[in-house]
């Protein structure tokens, strides 16, 4: 269970050069903006998540209680040029919250500074103890998993939007976080990419346990079957969640896997077929109910045309969760699984 985080948050973006490397900060700013007082960017930082720029002194004056590492760069290590800022944050009494692979306690002197100044060092990328190997036994309840044509295409945003829309319609629904940003937003979850490989499917089972027959667990997806770096975690989630429904997430501005040469993204119908085939190992009734697109990389005005083309190509509803909302995807769940509302 994640420790209770003290708010307001100051989101630390370091000096990242690619906006997608600040997706943790961007996610928290979007879904929990009322809990954020600002962003702290080092010289040369090219990411901007739309919060006021504050230094540590200004943040403390604004009431900040926690410095959250808003960076999710490949490799998950702290850059040397960040360390003094983290030490100064500890000296100022701020809690430091991180989802990086490297532990905050591994930064020389930080543990001692935190103890001396009343700061907490909170690593959310630490899986719970006692995870078991998956058993594959079918359990009650309904589960939706967001999957992707690549990494960083909107799986978390889509899952959060689906959970919110279901609950707004009076359904029983829980967002199940599997990554550091989702855990910081939800307050609980399992960091799947930090779980030993043999236990990933078991962790997914633990994350989405047996539930009421009309309850949806909306599980945040990770990685992609088509990304050679991160396909393994995706497969474990597919098998462990025993997903009833899949939503395929896609960035239509991409034709190839980002950051890896020689891996084109297959046609969407091929992607759907491979995801369904893989998921059928633990749930033969699984189906893909729609497509969620991230249109942020498209030229202005292209979204509607691309969405229509994808719907014509796949025969499934297609939405951008930010621009369009996800009502069409919830309607597709109704069609596929029946509409069951929670009692008033």
Q: Does any domain span residue 331?
A: yes
| Shared-domain flag, residues 42 and 77 | yes
Tokens 């939706």 belong to 144
Residues 198, 226 within the same domain: yes
Residues 243 and 273 in one domain: yes
Q: Please check whether residues 83 and 159 belong to one and the same domain.
A: no
CA distance 224 to 305: 25
List per-residue pLDDT tens for the chain, 344 residues long. 456 788 999 999 999 999 889 989 998 999 989 999 999 999 999 999 999 999 999 999 999 999 999 998 766 789 999 999 999 999 999 999 998 888 999 999 999 999 999 999 999 988 888 999 999 999 999 999 999 999 999 999 999 999 999 999 999 999 999 988 898 888 788 999 889 999 999 999 999 999 999 999 999 999 999 999 999 999 999 999 999 999 999 999 999 999 999 999 999 999 999 999 999 999 999 999 999 999 999 998 899 999 999 999 999 999 999 999 999 999 999 999 986 544 33
Give yes or no for a contact between 245 and 317, defined as CB atoms under 8 angstroms apart: no
> Rounded to whole angstroms, how far apart are CA atoms 104 and 108?
9
CATH number for the domain spanning 263: value is: 3.40.50.300
Q: Which domain holds residue 265?
A: 142-337
3-state secondary structure of 121: strand
The position carrying tokens 């490949």 is 74
Number of domains in the chain: 2
Q: Is 131 domain-assigned?
A: no
- Do 157 and 249 lie in a common domain? yes
Residue 163 lies in a domain: yes
Answer yes or no: do 72 and 160 share one domain: no
> Could you tell me the pTM of the whole model?
0.84
Residues 306 and 176 in one domain: yes
Structure letter (DSSP) for residue 19: G
User: How far, in Å, CA of 242 to CA of 201, rounded?
Assistant: 9
CB 322 within 8 A of CB 234: no
Give yes or no: residues 119 and 179 share one domain. Answer: no
Q: Does some domain include residue 151?
A: yes
Rounded to an integer, what distance in angstroms lies between the CA atom of residue 306 and that of residue 312?
10
Same domain, 173 and 307: yes
Is the Cβ–Cβ distance between 178 and 240 less than 8 Å? no
| SS3 call for 222 | coil
- The reply to whether 168 and 80 lie within a common domain is no
Which ranges of 37-136 would DSSP assign to H, the alpha helix? 56-61, 83-91, 110-117
Kindly state whether residues 35 and 70 are assigned to the same domain: yes
Sorted by sequence, the CB contacts under 8 Å of residue 22 that are 6+ apart come out as 13, 16, 47, 49, 70, 71, 72
């Amino acid at each position: 269970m994640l420790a209770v985080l003290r708010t307001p948050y100051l989101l630390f973006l370091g000096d990242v050069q690619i906006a997608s490397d600040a997706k943790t900060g961007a996610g928290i700013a979007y879904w929990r903006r009322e809990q954020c007082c600002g962003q702290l960017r080092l010289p040369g930082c090219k990411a901007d998540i739309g919060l006021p720029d504050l230094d540590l002194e200004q943040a403390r004056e604004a009431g900040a209680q926690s410095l959250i590492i808003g960076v999710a760069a490949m490799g998950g290590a702290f850059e040397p040029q960040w360390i003094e800022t983290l030490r100064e944050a500890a000296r100022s009494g701020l809690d430091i919250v991180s989802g990086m692979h490297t532990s905050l306690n591994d930064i020389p002197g930080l543990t001692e500074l935190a103890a001396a100044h009343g700061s907490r060092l909170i690593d959310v990328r630490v899986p719970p103890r006692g995870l078991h190997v998956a058993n594959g036994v079918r359990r009650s309840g309904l589960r939706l998993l967001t999957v992707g044509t690549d990494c960083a295409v909107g799986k978390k945003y889509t899952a959060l939007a689906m959970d919110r829309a279901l609950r707004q319609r009076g359904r029983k629904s829980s967002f199940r976080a599997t990554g550091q940003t989702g855990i910081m937003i939800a307050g609980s979850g399992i960091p799947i990419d930090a779980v030993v490989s043999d236990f990933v499917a078991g962790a997914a089972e633990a994350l989405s346990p047996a539930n009421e027959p009309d309850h949806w667990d909306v599980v945040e997806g990770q990685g992609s079957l088509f990304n050679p770096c991160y396909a393994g975690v995706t497969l474990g989630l597919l098998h462990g969640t025993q997903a009833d429904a899949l939503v395929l997430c896609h960035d239509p501005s991409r034709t190839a896997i980002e950051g890896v040469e020689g891996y084109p993204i297959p046609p969407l119908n091929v992607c759907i077929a491979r995801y369904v085939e893989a998921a059928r190992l633990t749930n033969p009734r699984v189906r893909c109910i729609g497509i969620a697109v991230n249109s942020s990389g498209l030229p202005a005005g292209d979204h509607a045309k691309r969405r229509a083309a994808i719907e014509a190509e796949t025969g499934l509803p297609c939405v951008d969760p930010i621009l369009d909302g996800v009502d069409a995807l919830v309607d597709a769940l109704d069609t596929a699984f029946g509409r069951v509302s929670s009692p008033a």
